[in-house]
Structure 1
Amino acid sequence: MTNTLRLTAATAVAAALLTLAGCGSDTGKTANTAMVGNMAKGVFARLKPGKTAKVTAPVGQEDLARAALASNTGPLLLATIETQGATTVLGMIGENGSKRTYATPSQQNVVLQDGVLIATRGLGRDLMSADPGATPQLLATRTPGKSHRIQRYLDGEGIERPLRLSCTLTRGTTQSYSFAGVNWTGMQMVEVCSASGLSIGNSYLVAENGQIILSRQWIGPGLGYVALQTLRP
């Protein structure tokens, strides 16, 4: 990362946090690897305030997103899991209040509460459930503040163990970029959480209406981070 971009403190943290590798997919590795990673790095590290970025992803990656949008009418996400090596599209299969469940064709699931990750299934070493505290409300209003999270994981004996995190959210700059024929604009929000020597960071791009349009969120110690790009809200 370069200092010549004159990033705010929050933006600089986001840039450091968003060093993405490959992506995870139930269909195996494809030419679409690193799409969301490249996009996120561009949005959180390379853009200047008020500018529109050209996403540096191969054409085939945008083709994947366009094909998904053309063949599905409901809400869609593009997901990148750093530790698993490919990109996949997830469609919404359920909605309950502020919670949405998205799934791949083979039923690997992520559950979001107002865009904040609260559970996964079928990925291995899943996040069983989470109480995100005040984080969704702070993000929806793009307000700096503090939050306390509880994230639950199974131990080696299959017993669910809670991980309690203390978090601080800070606000960065407004950023714009284009992908698959759609222009997106949002404000950067960075969440840094700690517990018992562990420190993790989540980064979000939040639209004016409070929708999280692009994020990088920590699943857990086994899976690391997932980057999520909204294709259709």
Structure 2
Amino acid sequence: MNYYDPSLWLFVILFAAAILAGFVDSIAGGGGLITAPLMLSIGAPPHVALSMGKYMGVFGTSLAAWEYIKRKVIRPKEWIWCALMTLIGSFTGALLLLSLDPSFIKKMIPPLLIAVGIYMLIPKSRKQAQSEDGIVSQPKQIASGLGLGFYDGFIGPGTGSFWTVLYNRIFNQDFLVASGVARLMNSMSNIAALVIFAVAGKVAWFMGAFMVVGFMLGSYIGARSAIRYGEKFIKPLFITLVFIIAGRLTYIEYFTN
């Protein structure tokens, strides 16, 4: 299988991988950890492999976010500042990515994700549980949007997990709401980053189109499952996926070079 001489079987494999990536991404984030290594393994240039995650994410995470919005899990008007700052942060991060090597920072992600998973295993205090439905303040939205938007544009892996734990545990939002906000903000950061990659000519549009369809299908199934079965379904799956993603990143960053 070769990126520069694709076969029918290659498209089938990429499509199947995109479905799995979309499902994972719609719940815990990290779908790019499935598709990016696969793209690299068939000879795709690194920036093209990274841009594929943004290409799929623009459609897949937007579809997942729409499911949360349509079913009134989240209300976009309450997250305007966060969305705007996420766009700006991701735009800046993607610009920097094209000129710098983020490999050193990437080695810090696995232990951070493991910490996130362990933190989510700790039961919330009664005080936290009582304050879940409040609207997050404008300063917190601006800070989180700029910070995590920049991180997503510059590095990417684990962003959805960081969004979810930030809004669920630090800002005391319901877990399903936090997951919906994570999908909405991921869609914003993906749009900004994709624009930068597209202008730089780093997007494989034709091959990516097949993967977009698969990613959207997986995202739809994942979002519908999360909304239908609620926190009892999504929280254990989220924690499990976070540890799997952390393990995958640990292997990539520490044992493949």
Q: Same fold judged by TM-score > 0.5?
A: no
* TM-score, normalization by structure 1: 0.27
* TM-score, normalization by structure 2: 0.25
Which is helix-richer, 1 or 2?
2
Q: Which structure ranks higher in relative contact order (CA pairs < 8 Å, sequence separation ≥ 6)?
A: 2
Which is strand-richer, 1 or 2?
1
